[in-house]
Structures are given as C-alpha cells and as structure tokens.
A and B are shown apart, each in its own frame.
Chain A
Amino acid sequence: MSFRNAARLARRELRGGLKGFRIFLACLALGVGAIAAVQSVADGIRRSIAEDGQAILGGDVELNRLYQPATAEEQAQFEAAGRVSEVVETRGMARNPQDEATTLVELKAVDGAYPLYGRMELEGGGDLQAALTLQDGAWGAVADPEVAARLGLSAGGRIAVGDAVLQLRGTIAREPDKAGSGFAIGPRLMIARGALDASGLIQPGSMLTYNYRLALPRGSDAHGVAEGFKDQFQDANWRVRDDRDAAPSLRRTIDQLTMYLTLVGLTALLVGGAGVGNAVRAWLDARLATIATLKCLGAPGRLIFETYLLQVLVLSGLGIAIGLLIGAAAPSAVAAVPVRRFCRIS
C-alpha cells in the first residue's frame, strides 16, 4: 500500500516538470552518453575490423619479415598454400625532381596480384595495375593527395624516389588494407614491385618489410594455416597473422583509447556526481513545504522517502536513457565526420 501511494504521489509530483532537474539530467546524460559513445564507437570499429578482416589484412594469412624477402623455398611453400601477393613497405623521401621539394612518404611496392581482397580505388576511377606499370620508360605511381600537394605536383608530374623517377598517375581514394598497416608518419606512395627494384632502395640493411599475403582456397582454415606456418618457420623471424586479428596495432590502439576515454567518462560522471548531488539537494529543498504538508496529513517517513526516491529514480532513468541514445547515435555521427578532409587539413 505504501509503495502504491508513493508511486501515485510521485507521478502527481512529476507533473511539475523538470524544473530544478535540468542540471541533474545534463550531468547524468552527458556522463552516461560519453561512456556509451566511447564503447559503442569502439565496438563498431572492432566489429568492422572483424567483418573486413580479409581486406584489412590483405589476405587470409599474412607473413611479414623485416630486411629479408622470402627464400625461393619459402615462396614455394606460400604458393602451395594459396594465391600469393608480395607487398614491400618502407619509409622514404619522395622528391620533386624539378625543384627538389621533398616529403617523407610511406612507400608501398605491390605486385600484380595486389589486392587479393578488397578494392583499391583511385580518384576519378582507373585501374591500379595500369597506373603503376612501366610506360615509355617510366614507372607509374599513385599517392595520397597530400603527396602531390606537398611536392607541388599535378597529375602526370614526375616524382623521384631513390634513383627512380616515376610518373604520378593517380590519387588514392581508398586503400583496402590501410587500417592494417599500423602507425603511419607520412602519406602513402604506392609503386610497382619492379619500380622498387629500380629505385635502388633495396640495399643491405634497408628497413624494408616484406609482406606475403595468401588467399587460401575457399573453406580453408586460415587460423590453422597460420599456426602451421608459425610452427614451420619458428627460426625464420616471420610474423604470421590471420584474418581474425587483421589489425592488431589498430585493435590495441582502439582498446587503449577506449579504456582511456572510458576512464575520462567515468571521471566526468564522478565529477558530475557532485552536480547531481547538489541538484537533488536543491530540488528537495524546493519541496520541503510539500514534504511538510504530506507529514501533516499523516504520511510516514517511509512513504515520503519512497515518493522522492521514486522521482529521483525516474529522472535518473530518463537521464541514463538520454545518455544511451547519445551513445547509440555516436557511431553514425562519427561515421558522418569527413575524416579524409579533416586529415588533409591537419
């Protein structure tokens, strides 16, 4: 009976609206919203990594090693497992041969099988392999827009990498395995594997990473194949990954960022708790006359407590619901942010 009376009184009192409760709601909604947004965005990214594992990794299985390409024997074993694509990555200086302007680039040399999964897109369309091929004695290159901007190049302009002078034939609109490449300190410059040989950058001690991506026959157990290679090449310094963990560095970054931002959100919620406490106290102070009247009319302390606890709980639920809505909307809002444009500006 007491609880029914409390619920009835609380419902009637809540007709008074949210007056005095706006700060309470704002603190709660923002705190919960921040945590929910961080978690839902992180969860969305993790899910995307899992769903697009093949494209992000560039294959079902990837083996990579610093300094040393695969031996003929290793290459044969890779090819026995599935289709193979060789990608060599390094950092280097790209130059404008006309004015000697330079910029650091993330250089990526790909073979004719690249990409095994996903779709490489150039701005304005066009085929990657056609853009990279040797034409009229010059290898082709495609690059992130920043490269052309920093070197003052226009389409078809010349770009020098090591000893090779390449023709810039396109701008990268989408690189399917970029998320799996880890931390980048420069824009992407993509060239053909043959162009890398021509650049003279392959020298003993050069920091080149040789990646071998394998597209396994349909139905293969990528994880099992990866584990098999790990056992087989225990002493060969190969780092082996499969599409279940396509972007470990990105995953680690997301995990750390999520933890950090969740802690920030929790701290904000705790700090907001002081605001919530003050708001509840002020709200109760404003209702002292009503509480006194109810006591005069014969309301026991428990009924008064339940009546006001219910109201605080209802309004807390409202604040939490608003926060969760903010959190649910966050992935869509983040996805709508023009990241490329932002990156270009920065």
Chain B
Amino acid sequence: MDGTTPAPQAGFEAGKAASIRLIDVHLELASAAGPVNILRGIDLSVAAGEVVSIVGPSGSGKSSLMMLIGGLERPTQGRVEVAGRELSTASEDALALFRRDHVGIVFQNFHLIPTMTALENVAIPLEFAGAADAFDRAAERLRAVGLGHRLSHYPGQLSGGEQQRTALARAFAADPDVILADEPTGNLDGETGRQVIELMFELSRRRGATLLLITHDPALAARCDRIVRLVDGRITDVGLAHSAALARLK
C-alpha cells in the first residue's frame, strides 16, 4: 500500500451485491479551532454478509465512519449507500426509520436503557417497527444469547457480559442487514469478551448480516473476512484477513 486512498473495493465475495458502498466520502466537523477534517475521501464497498474489521489508531476516524454508515452523521461530501439506500440526502426521520429497519448497533458501553428490563430493551426496535409479537420475539432473541432467565432484570442487575449480550440481542432483534459494532469487547474481560465475539460472529453468520467491527485487537481483526485500516481519515490498507486468505487458499 502506498498510503493513498485505494480504488473502490468490490464486494469480497464475487456475485454478492454491495451492502455498504462509500464513494469519495469526506467528513468535516466544526470546532473552536476551525474546521477539522475527520474523513478525507473514503471509498469502500462491503458485500452483503461480509465481516469487515476497521482498525487504526485513536482519532483516525473509525467511529465517524461507522456513524456515517449508520446514518447518524451526514458526509460533507460524497455518497453513502447502505442496504441499497442513499443516506447522504435523507431526512432525519428517514434515517431513523432506515436504522430501525436495516441497522443494528453494538456499543462499547452497551447503552442499554436503565429504566427498562432486558426484555423491554430488546423489544424496542421491534416495537418501533410495529411488531405485534415484539415481546415474544425479544424473549426468543434473549434466549438465543443465553439470557432466557434474565428477561425481567434491569441493566443494573446484569453483569457487563450479560449487558453486552442483551445489547447484541437488541442489535439483532429486527433482523437488520448491517450490524455496526464499535469495540464491543472494550469494557469486558478477556474471557467474557471472547464469548461475546463468538456470539456476535455466530449471529451475523446465521442471519446473513453484514458485520462492520471496529477493534484495536489484531487477533480479532484477523478473524474477519477483511481488514480496513484507517489512518488520519484515509483508508491506508484494505486486505484479506489472515483467516480469510487461508480459507481462500484452501
């Protein structure tokens, strides 16, 4: 890699439609010291069902990139297409509905709503979508992550690992096309983090969801299909993860 922004990447798996496509995306934010260029011409294409890790030093723009893909931020320039929808020009409410139907987000700090039980937390996206069986489906999702016995517990009554598993159940509740995970194991101990990652990989594989994973853990990044390296707002490296390369060779 020469350090410049590479050409748009095709989907990793040939024949699969792109789930995420970013074309010459720039993001500039205002600050007291003047405008700050967060992202500088990002081109990226992720195929449906692909698992991609985003790595890079702190401040390189990883979380901002994820915010753009989740429709939580608008690019200053360029196009952002996710699940076949162009997000750059969509209204706030249209973006909210897009997230409800197509995106699940997993945060480092879990961000469960403290006044709601685990079941209610997981049911929220389903309730927003008007699902009549929201609670039945939420209970099923919680059982799928091994928390069938914690349905009526509040976040404060759950361990860190249990909270993150609840957050995973919530992210996958509405069967989204894309899962965005921002350092999901950052607040968990090694063993618990490993269990959560296994669960997340398993769920995304089973449901065919595209998974974008921000991580500082090289071993975890190596388990993904592709690794995208960001430095100073630019993609400096896009490559096959070791495991994927091995799989291809086989």
Contacts and interface: CB of A to CB of B under 8 A. Distances in A.
Interface of A: 1, 5, 8, 12-16, 289-290, 292-303
B115 interface: yes
A297 B115 contact: no
A289 B107 CA distance: 12
How many of chain B's residues touch chain A, expressed as a range? 20 to 34
Given A12-B116, A16-B114, A298 B101 contact: yes
Interface stretch (B119-127, B184-192, B215-223, B237-245): B119-127
B93 A302 contact: yes
A298 B128 contact: yes
Nearest to A12: B116
Interface of B: 70, 72, 92-93, 96-101, 105, 111-116, 120, 124-125, 127-130, 170
26 contacts: A12-B116, A13-B115, A16-B115, A290-B113, A293-B111, A293-B113, A295-B72, A295-B99, A296-B70, A296-B72, A296-B99, A296-B105, A296-B111, A297-B105, A298-B96, A298-B98, A298-B99, A298-B100, A298-B101, A299-B100, A299-B128, A300-B93, A300-B96, A300-B97, A301-B92, A301-B93
A16 to B, nearest CB: 4
B92 A297 contact: no
**Residue of A5, A294, A296 with highest tally of chain B CB at under 10 A:** A296
Contacts of B125: 297-298
**Residue of A16, A289, A293, A302 with highest tally of chain B CB at under 10 A:** A293
Contacts of B70: 296
Given A298-B96, A298-B98, 11 more contacts: A15-B115, A16-B115, A289-B111, A296-B70, A296-B105, A298-B99, A299-B96, A299-B100, A299-B128, A300-B97, A301-B93
**Residue of A292, A300, A301 with highest tally of chain B CB at under 10 A:** A300
A12 B170 contact: no
A289 B92 CA distance: 18
A203 B2 CA distance: 121
Given A5-B128, A8-B127, A298 B115 contact: no
A12 B115 CA distance: 6
Nearest to B176: A298
